[in-house]
């Protein structure tokens, strides 16, 4: 009970608000779970099915995950947010057992010894160490705890402390410990292992120093390339820095990739090809790199390997709309318009928020209005974006048709921004087609019943066409959803006075 009390006091000292807020964020306003970790874990299990024994390689989770990713999170995921799953993905069953077998064995062995001890010092230190190890292992269920160097180091410090504290008898005045002595002849094996570890130390230091130096050079090159007026000398200097970074850190794929891009800008195709190959050899599953290499090969006339690389970029990053857009660009450039349009439709489906930029892209590539319309998925937002662009071009009839088309595809399973309803309704309102404007807002109410602004807009339109009782009803609904809305209160008073 005392421990529980102390725990509550310690948490209360820092405040409960951050903890409550973290749990509140798990669900949205509709009560739906919005936490992405279950998705990460489900996708990670799919990776594990393909690489069950030895995994994909330590530290490769961020590279292999996009191939199996089932949902877009708006960012690149580098960790599974579950150390157990991440170790299974990276090291397979073999790596998982080798790593987690160590702390589990230490907990069991130390506990068996400490329960027989009578010396308080050893008991308290051992129990504290074991509790610390268990706390880290519990935390690892929902986070990438052990992928942070300091946390991993602390785990093994606690493991060493648990073994030492449970077996030491120094406090009792005895020099020896409860650890079993090494078997005869095992000293040679121990010292051989120690020598091997000592020989590895300078190699590890050299690799880490090289990595730091390489990253520093790439950072300096990036700063130089961001200069307001880069000159030809700048380009040469940047290229040399990237080449130097590659020499210092030959295992990294970024420095040869950046060197390849610099070589392309400097019109040095042989150097570009050399560094592209080096980069792909070091990271053969990174979509942007594969596609950039493919586009480079296409410019040199090697269309067959170019297409394979561009398609591989999609394979290893299958929910990225940008990867599909790049492939569509290549298809259109090579006269495969129908396939390009189909690929663009997939790209827009994956990221409807970018619909406007994709429509602008199709317009730049010379697609006509019917081809653009055909490339759009049967979703609301892309059609509304098309209508806005057509209005900007003065094509009012086509824009009006696009607005009508948009809401014919309204689907409860689809996420639609409230702005889509407002944009379409505003257009019809400007055309003094108040019935159509109202019809759009009523669809908005049906689709987003808890949006007070949509109800206010509908009420205003009811008022405009003279249906006062319906305007009053919608204003009242809006006030329930947004009790602090002074404008709605004012409108209700005005309507009640009439």
Collapsing DSSP states into helix, strand and coil, what is residue 194?
helix
Q: What is the pLDDT of residue 306?
A: 96
89-93, 192-196, 333-337, 356-360: which range is least confident on average? 192-196
Question: Does residue 15 carry a pLDDT above 90?
Answer: no
What are the tokens at 447?
């689709």
Per residue in 125-184, pLDDT tens? 899 999 999 999 999 998 888 888 888 899 999 999 998 888 887 655 555 676 777 677
2-16, 276-290, 309-323, 379-393: which range is least confident on average? 2-16
Q: What is the pLDDT of residue 12?
A: 59
User: How far apart, in whole angstroms, are the C-alpha atoms of residue 64 and residue 285?
Assistant: 7
Looking at the chain, the whole-number percentage of residues with pLDDT higher than 90 is 57
Provide φ and ψ at 33, rounded to 5°: -70, 125
The domains of the chain, with CATH numbers, are 22-172 (no CATH), 203-283 (1.25.40.10), 319-416 (1.25.40), 428-498 (1.25.40.10)
Q: Read off the pLDDT band of 413 (50, 70, 90).
A: confident
What are the tokens at 30?
């509709």
Collapsing DSSP states into helix, strand and coil, what is residue 393?
coil
pTM of the model: 0.82
User: How far apart, in whole angstroms, are the C-alpha atoms of residue 52 and residue 90?
Assistant: 10
Closest-CA residue to 293 (of 310, 315, 270) = 310
Question: Does residue 187 carry a pLDDT above 90?
Answer: no
Per residue in 320-333, pLDDT tens? 999 999 999 999 99
Q: What number is the average pLDDT over the span 465-471?
A: 90
What are the tokens at 358?
């994709």
Q: What number is the average pLDDT over the span 82-105?
A: 92
Q: What is the pLDDT of residue 230?
A: 62
């Amino acid at each position: 009970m005392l421990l529980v009390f102390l725990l509550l006091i310690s948490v209360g000292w820092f405040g409960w608000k951050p903890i409550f807020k973290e749990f509140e964020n798990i669900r949205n306003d509709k009560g739906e779970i919005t936490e992405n970790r279950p998705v990460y874990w489900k996708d990670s299990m799919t990776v594990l099915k393909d690489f069950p024994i030895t995994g994909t390689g330590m530290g490769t989770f961020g590279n292999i995950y996009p191939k199996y990713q089932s949902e877009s999170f708006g960012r690149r995921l580098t960790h599974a947010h579950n150390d157990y799953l991440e170790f299974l993905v990276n090291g397979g069953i073999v790596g998982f057992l080798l790593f987690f077998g160590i702390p589990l064995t230490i907990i069991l062995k130390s506990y068996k010894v400490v329960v027989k001890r009578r010396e308080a010092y050893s008991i308290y230190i051992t129990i504290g160490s074991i509790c610390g190890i268990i706390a880290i292992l519990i935390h690892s269920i929902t986070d990438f705890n052990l992928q942070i160097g300091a946390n991993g180091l602390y785990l093994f410090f606690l493991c060493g402390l648990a073994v030492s504290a449970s077996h030491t008898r120094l406090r009792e005045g005895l020099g020896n410990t409860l650890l079993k002595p090494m078997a005869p002849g095992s000293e040679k094996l121990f010292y051989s292992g120690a020598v091997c570890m000592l020989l590895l130390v300078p190699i590890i230091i050299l690799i880490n120093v090289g990595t730091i130096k390489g990253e520093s050079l790439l950072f300096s090159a990036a700063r130089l390339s961001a200069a307001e007026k880069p000159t030809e000398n700048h380009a040469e200097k940047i290229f040399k820095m990237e080449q130097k970074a590659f020499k210092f850190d030959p295992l990294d794929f970024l420095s040869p990739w950046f060197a390849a891009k610099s070589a392309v800008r400097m019109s040095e195709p042989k150097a570009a090809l050399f560094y592209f190959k080096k980069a792909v050899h070091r990271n053969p599953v990174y979509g942007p790199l594969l596609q950039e290499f493919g586009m480079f090969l296409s410019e040199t006339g090697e269309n067959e390997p170019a297409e394979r690389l561009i398609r591989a970029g999609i394979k290893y990053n299958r929910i990225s709309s940008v990867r599909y857009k790049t492939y569509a660009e290549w298809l259109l450039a090579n006269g495969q318009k129908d396939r390009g349009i189909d690929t663009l439709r997939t790209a827009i489906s994956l990221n409807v928020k970018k619909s406007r930029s994709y429509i602008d892209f199709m317009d730049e590539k010379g697609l006509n209005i019917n081809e653009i319309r055909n490339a759009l998925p049967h979703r609301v937002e892309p059609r509304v974006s098309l209508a806005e662009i057509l209005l900007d071009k003065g094509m009012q009839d086509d824009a009006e048709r696009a607005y009508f088309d948009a809401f014919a595809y309204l689907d409860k399973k689809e996420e639609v921004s409230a702005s889509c309803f407002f944009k379409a309704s505003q257009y019809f309102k400007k055309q003094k087609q108040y019935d159509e404007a109202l019809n759009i807002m009523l669809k908005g109410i049906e689709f987003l019943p808890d949006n007070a602004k949509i109800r206010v807009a509908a009420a205003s339109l009811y008022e405009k066409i003279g249906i006062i009782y319906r305007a009053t009803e919608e204003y009242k609904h809006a006030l329930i959803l947004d009790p602090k809305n002074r404008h709605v209160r004012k409108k209700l008073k005005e309507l009640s006075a009439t």
